[in-house]
Amino acid sequence: MALRVALGAGRSRVVRQLLTESAILAALGGVLGLAMASWVPLFFNRNLPPMPYRVAIQTSPDMDTVFFAVGAALIATLTFGLVPALQASKPGLAGILKGDAGSAGGLRFGGTKLLNMVVVGMVAMAFVTLFLGGILTASLRNIRAMEMGFEVEDRMMASLDVSLAGDDSLDAVAFTDEVVSRVAALPGITGVSLSSGIPFGLWFYTISIFADDREYGPDDLGLSAWGSSVTEGYFGVLGTRLLAGREFNSADTPEAPGTVILNEFAAERFWPDENPIGRRIRFQRVGGGTTLEVIGIAETGPYMWVLEPPGAAIFRPLRQASQSRTVLTIHASVDPLSLVPQIRQVIKEINPAVPLFDIKTAGEHVEGSLYLFRMGAEVATALGVMALILAAAGLYGVTTFRVGQRRREMGIRLALGARQKSLLAHVLGGSLRLTAVGIIIGSTLALAASGVLTNLVFGVAPWSPVNLLTVAIGLAVVTLLAALRPALSASRADPLESLRAD
């Protein structure tokens, strides 16, 4: 650039050339970015939770988004390409023509504050995203290991809906009874149940319940409970513990007195330290309406989502509270999915118009309920890795630039007796100081941001010191490796070349 200016090139000509080079690099980066962006919808489609209906994310490019990205790239090119271009267009001719690289422009070693700030910012961003990704990943691992209130091994779930048959005369109670009895007779099946709702399912009902032996005021809304209508054997098939009383049986018919099973939370709220078996509940605050006898107490578990606080739940016999849409749950001694063709055949023989759909293992069902947790952990980790790569590349570039600015100085130091190890440590120390500042800023931001995750993580403190230390050490190692090559180059500067230039 100094030779060009010395030979008569105007400043605008030099700036245009450098901006053109920046635009070419930006265009190449934009093409790479579009290629990476095309993978994002495929990633989300691949990770969609199992659902009873087809859901897909549009994979064709949205032109408004593309134009916005192109505009952002152009602004970035002009903003971050113009400043160094203007600086390079005003070289110190006398110094450079003598071989003084430090006169190449305004960004000398001691004046690289802007570049240093950029590197510190990238390290801080990488720290924040990696820290959040680590917290969410650890939380997801803990959630997968938590007690769900039911078992997932060797269990399968599928949906039935008699209303889809289009036959108003179809007896839902008789249909479900026949399904349970005939599917249970298939080889390899150890348990079968039908229920209108299952934990983490999309279909369930909530209802306010009242203890029949209590008085309620006009403003008392009762106890809101998650509810499901189930067949006999439901708790055994799901592996949910019955803490007291009995399960439903064939005697719980539509003509029999109404019965209900509560979970432990509801029983404790109504009758703390008392025996709830034989007590009665109702759905109305004051007298009137049907009352149901409590015949059993089931363990409390999450019902709508995994991190919900403990809440009330009621279970009614499906014969007494019939529902058109039910979930068939299978417990098998073999791979339950291998039994799907036989189950389909049984359903077809009973009524070919009733479809069997939304087939999945219990493990897939639980994993589907963790969709947002899994996506949050994966996206945060991916962004963290990208930010880490950018931080390492930025530190490499800044260290290389600083070494280039001081190459003659390094050679003179070596000529005067400095050891290569001391020069290597000097350059790496400067890079590590930038990393340390970025880590301090990033840890502060991460701790501030972690407060919003309090209700979204499980089994791990949002301010986990282990996570903080792990991310800090990882960032320090990666950035140290990024600065190692230019530091080795500085420590190997040729003293004779430096002295000859003077």
DSSP 266-289: HHHHHSTTS--TT-EEESSSSS-S
Query: What span, in angstroms and rounded, lies between the C-alpha atoms of 314 and 294?
Result: 10
Q: What does the pLDDT look like over 379-422, one tens digit per residue?
A: 888 888 888 888 888 888 888 877 777 777 777 777 777 787 88
Say if residue 403 is exposed, middle or buried (CB neighbours under 10 Å; 0-12, 13-18, 19+).
buried
Report the sign of the C-alpha dihedral through residues 249, 251, 255, 261, in that order: negative
- The residue count of the chain comes to 502
Residues 328 and 472 in one domain: no
Residues 196 and 337 in one domain: yes
Residue predicted with more confidence, 405 or 367: 367
Whether the Cβ atoms of residue 336 and residue 361 lie closer than 8 Å to each other: yes
Rounded mean pLDDT of 275-289? 83
pLDDT of 140 > 50? The answer is yes
pLDDT given for residue 107 in this prediction: 43
pLDDT of 51 > 80? The answer is no
Whether the Cβ atoms of residue 304 and residue 215 lie closer than 8 Å to each other: no
Domain count, the chain: 3
Rounded mean pLDDT of 28-55? 74
Full 3-state SS string of 152-182: CCCEEEEEEEHHHHCCCCCCHHHHHHHHHHH
Residues 319 and 195 in one domain: yes
Residues 280 and 314 in one domain: yes
Full 3-state SS string of 328-379: EEEEECCCHHHHHHHHHHHHHHHCCCCCEEEEEEHHHHHHHHCHHHHHHHHH
Residues 260 and 130 in one domain: no
pLDDT given for residue 250 in this prediction: 87
**Confidence at 97, pLDDT banded by 50, 70, 90:** low
Query: What span, in angstroms and rounded, lies between the C-alpha atoms of 470 and 475?
Result: 9
Average pLDDT, the chain: 83
pLDDT of 39 > 90? The answer is no
Residues 310 and 220 in one domain: yes
pLDDT of 110 > 50? The answer is no
Q: Is 31 inside a domain boundary?
A: yes
The backbone region for 154, taken as left when phi is positive above 0, alpha when psi lies in -120 to 50, beta otherwise, is left
Residues 131 and 171 in one domain: no
**Confidence at 492, pLDDT banded by 50, 70, 90:** confident
Query: What span, in angstroms and rounded, lies between the C-alpha atoms of 284 and 290?
Result: 8
Residues 133 and 279 in one domain: no
pLDDT given for residue 288 in this prediction: 62
Beta bridge partners of 225: 207, 312
Domain boundary among 352, 379, 394: 352
- What element of type H or E holds 84? helix 63-88
Q: Is 335 inside a domain boundary?
A: yes
Q: What does the pLDDT look like over 183-238, one tens digit per residue?
A: 999 999 999 999 998 998 877 788 899 998 888 877 888 899 999 999 999 999 99
Share of the chain above pLDDT 90, in %: 25
Q: Is 357 inside a domain boundary?
A: no
Q: Is 360 inside a domain boundary?
A: no
**Confidence at 498, pLDDT banded by 50, 70, 90:** low
Q: What does the pLDDT look like over 430-482, one tens digit per residue?
A: 888 888 999 999 988 888 877 777 767 787 877 778 888 888 998 889 888 88
Pairing of strands 205-211, 280-282: antiparallel
Task: Give the structural domain span for 291.
Answer: 167-352
Q: What does the pLDDT look like over 64-87, one tens digit per residue?
A: 888 888 888 888 888 777 777 777
Rounded mean pLDDT of 147-168? 85
Query: What span, in angstroms and rounded, lies between the C-alpha atoms of 142 and 140?
Result: 5
Domain boundary among 305, 325, 352: 352
Residues 254 and 308 in one domain: yes
Residues 291 and 374 in one domain: no
Neighbours of 489 (CB within 10 A): 17
Q: Is 291 inside a domain boundary?
A: yes
Which residues fall within 8 angstroms of residue 389, CB to CB, at 6 or more apart? none
- What element of type H or E holds 293? strand 291-298
Q: What does the pLDDT look like over 451-462, one tens digit per residue?
A: 777 767 787 877
Q: Is 99 inside a domain boundary?
A: no
Whether the Cβ atoms of residue 108 and residue 91 lie closer than 8 Å to each other: no
Residues 413 and 291 in one domain: no
Q: Which of 219, 220, 238, 215 is nearest to 228 (CA)?
A: 238
Overall pTM surpassing 0.75 (yes/no): no
**Confidence at 100, pLDDT banded by 50, 70, 90:** low
Q: Is 160 inside a domain boundary?
A: no
Query: What span, in angstroms and rounded, lies between the C-alpha atoms of 268 and 274?
Result: 8
Rounded mean pLDDT of 39-49? 72
**Confidence at 171, pLDDT banded by 50, 70, 90:** confident
Full 3-state SS string of 182-195: HHHCCCCEEEEEEE
**Confidence at 22, pLDDT banded by 50, 70, 90:** confident
**Confidence at 96, pLDDT banded by 50, 70, 90:** low
Whether the Cβ atoms of residue 370 and residue 199 lie closer than 8 Å to each other: no
Q: What is the dihedral of CA 171, 173, 174, 176, to 10 degrees?
A: 120
Residues 339 and 374 in one domain: no
Q: Is 442 inside a domain boundary?
A: yes
Whether the Cβ atoms of residue 460 and residue 145 lie closer than 8 Å to each other: no
